[in-house]
């Protein structure tokens, strides 16, 4: 049966916005929250959007931040969307434009600070909004060098983080018109998005109205770069474009006039030169002691300490790093000594200790698979446990999960990003995702419904209890209770250092 479409209007402090009501929810797509960071505003902190006159028609999919192909294209699949620097926009989905004051979910997408967008069809908030009676807001922020370049006198870095902070302030200002409660916000992010949630709290950005945080595969072990390395990468980038790092005024003008294609080309060249196999960190990302992020203590510790009164749902997938290594032929060519050398170089004595332990426990596992297991543990699992421990020690409420489901026989296992179709729902956009190849659609639909219920219950009450899950206890220092989300979900202890 054909669904009717109705135009709906919301008056905000930015101006009047027109959206479309269809399938039981209202969508407003590509709503600008900041001025276009172009020309002289390129590499500058974001500026709040000047109110417009007339009505903004937010009907069509918005543009996304300029970006190169995703590193995980072979895992998640591909997407096509028009790119533009005028990308600082919101996608808003709500059950109704009324005064219901629904809980608000602000979604920060992943993509290694280099790819993705908050309004991709992958992240359509329609199911969450309709089933949970919540408002879902997807955020675009600047990526790659345009968002995270550090070059003194040209860019202070962390501009993508500042974009997110401004977006959160704007959402709080306007969301009541979309039926949302500005004093009941849940920040939800995956990978770089989850990492960004930690950075927003650690950086002391205004978090008024935020009650809860959902941090999926936040890669807290991938800490922000130190400023020395970030400046070296920035100087290389500037030189690649024919600029002089020692002449920032002149170079800033030059870079402002370059086409986006040149910026992306230089970004790719720098990434190739500095790539290190086994290292999951991108060249342009969050930087410690830079704009919007202090250098007091480790950012994840600072974040946990700053989240007093914030309910936390945090978790990982069981085989996170298989997304980076399982399909890479270089991993299959490694022998035990090469893996040990690589782990020692990238992850230090702690990583070597984990490698030795895993090798003893899994004598028949291939060296490349051992590398993946160490990275999963070092970058994702143990930092998530430590974060939950720190919250628990401070009397905070945290729930921890491990997503273990995967298609039978998949070489990718329960890899990074695999939980996303289950959180947002198995939409058509995920139809060609290699990580789901061979999966039973009924299994996906059933587990997705359970997870959506859990996530929505957490958003609404701070407790992810759901009908088809066993009792989900609060994480404590004495017993590291985690919900294993799988065909048969169960409570288990995650392996990691004691709290």
* Terminal Cα distance for the chain, rounded: 55
**Strand 89-94 to strand 135-139: parallel, antiparallel, or no bridges (unpaired)?**
antiparallel
Annotated catalytic residue within 109, 205, 406, 416? 416
CA atoms within 13 A on the CB side of 300: 22
Three-state SS for 42?
A: coil
| Contact status, residue 6 vs residue 20, Cβ threshold 8 Å | yes
Whether 416 sits among the annotated catalytic residues: the reply is: yes
Strand partners, 28: 92
- Measured distance CA(371)–CA(375) in Å, rounded: 6
DSSP state of 380: I
The tokens of 293 are what? 């992020």
Residue among 475, 187, 458, 435 at smallest CA distance from 320? 435
- Report the 10 Å Cβ neighbour count for 6: 9
The tokens of 442 are what? 């009924």
Three-state SS for 30?
A: strand
Integer-rounded Cα Rg, in Å, for the chain is 22
Type and span of the H or E element at 37: none
- Measured distance CA(475)–CA(485) in Å, rounded: 16
Annotated catalytic residue within 114, 115, 155, 191? 191
- Measured distance CA(127)–CA(124) in Å, rounded: 8
Annotated catalytic residue within 320, 382, 402, 419? 320
- Report the 10 Å Cβ neighbour count for 330: 11
The tokens of 88 are what? 């600082």
Residue 380 backbone dihedrals phi, psi, to 5 degrees:
-115, -60
From the number of C-beta atoms within 10 Å of its C-beta (0-12, 13-18, 19+), residue 215 rates as buried
Whether 84 sits among the annotated catalytic residues: the reply is: no
Residue 73 backbone dihedrals phi, psi, to 5 degrees:
-55, -40
| Contact status, residue 141 vs residue 164, Cβ threshold 8 Å | yes
Contacts for 87 with CB less than 8 Å, ≥ 6 apart: 62, 63, 64, 65, 66, 117, 140, 142
Please give the distance of CA 413 from its chain centroid, rounded to a whole number. Answer: 20
Residue among 297, 316, 319 at smallest CA distance from 306? 297
| Contact status, residue 186 vs residue 211, Cβ threshold 8 Å | yes
- Measured distance CA(84)–CA(468) in Å, rounded: 43
Residues taking part in catalysis: 191, 320, 416
């Amino acid at each position: 049966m054909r669904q009717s479409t109705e135009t709906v209007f919301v008056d905000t402090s930015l101006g009047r916005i027109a959206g479309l009501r269809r399938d039981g929810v209202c969508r407003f797509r590509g709503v600008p929250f900041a001025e276009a960071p172009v020309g002289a505003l390129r590499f500058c902190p974001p500026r709040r959007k000047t109110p417009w006159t007339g009505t903004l028609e937010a009907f069509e999919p918005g543009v996304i931040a300029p970006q190169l192909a995703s590193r995980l294209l072979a895992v998640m699949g591909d997407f096509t969307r028009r790119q533009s620097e005028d990308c600082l926009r919101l996608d808003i989905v709500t059950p109704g434009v009324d005064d219901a004051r629904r809980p608000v979910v602000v979604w920060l997408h992943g993509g290694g600070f280099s790819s993705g967008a908050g309004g991709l069809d992958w992240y359509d908030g329609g199911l969450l909004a309709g089933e949970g009676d919540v408002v879902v807001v997807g955020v675009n922020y600047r990526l790659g060098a345009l968002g995270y370049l550090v070059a003194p006198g040209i860019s202070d870095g962390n501009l993508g983080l500042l974009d997110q902070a401004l977006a959160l302030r704007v959402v709080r200002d306007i969301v009541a018109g979309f039926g949302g409660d500005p004093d009941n916000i849940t920040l939800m992010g995956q990978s770089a998005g989850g990492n960004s949630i930690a950075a927003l709290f650690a950086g002391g950005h205004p978090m008024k109205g935020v009650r809860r945080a959902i941090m999926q595969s936040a890669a807290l072990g991938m800490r922000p770069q130190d400023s020395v390395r970030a400046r070296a990468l920035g100087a290389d980038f500037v030189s690649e474009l024919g600029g002089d790092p020692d002449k920032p005024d002149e170079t800033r003008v030059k870079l402002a006039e370059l086409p986006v294609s040149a910026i992306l080309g230089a970004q790719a060249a720098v990434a190739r030169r500095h790539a290190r196999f086994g290292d999951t960190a991108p060249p342009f990302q969050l930087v410690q002691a830079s704009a919007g992020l202090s250098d007091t203590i480790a950012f994840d510790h600072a974040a946990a300490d700053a989240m007093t009164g914030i309910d936390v749902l945090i978790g990982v997938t069981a085989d996170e790093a298989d997304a980076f290594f399982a399909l890479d032929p270089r991993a299959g060519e490694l022998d035990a000594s090469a893996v040990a050398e690589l782990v020692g170089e990238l992850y230090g004595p702690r990583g070597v200790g984990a490698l030795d332990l895993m090798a003893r426990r899994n004598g028949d596992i291939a060296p490349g698979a051992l590398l993946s297991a160490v990275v999963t543990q070092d970058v994702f699992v143990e930092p998530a446990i430590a974060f939950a421990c720190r919250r628990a020690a401070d009397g905070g409420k945290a729930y921890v999960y491990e997503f273990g489901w995967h298609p039978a026989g998949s070489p990718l296992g329960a890899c990074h990003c695999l939980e996303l179709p289950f959180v947002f729902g198995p939409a058509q956009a995920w139809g060609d995702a290699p990580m789901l190849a061979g999966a039973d659609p009924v299994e996906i639909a059933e587990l997705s419904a359970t997870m959506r219920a859990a996530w929505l219950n957490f958003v609404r009450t701070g407790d992810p209890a759901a009908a088809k899950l066993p009792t989900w206890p609060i994480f404590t220092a004495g017993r590291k209770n985690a919900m294993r989300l799988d065909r048969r979900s169960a409570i288990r202890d995650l392996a990691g250092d004691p709290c």
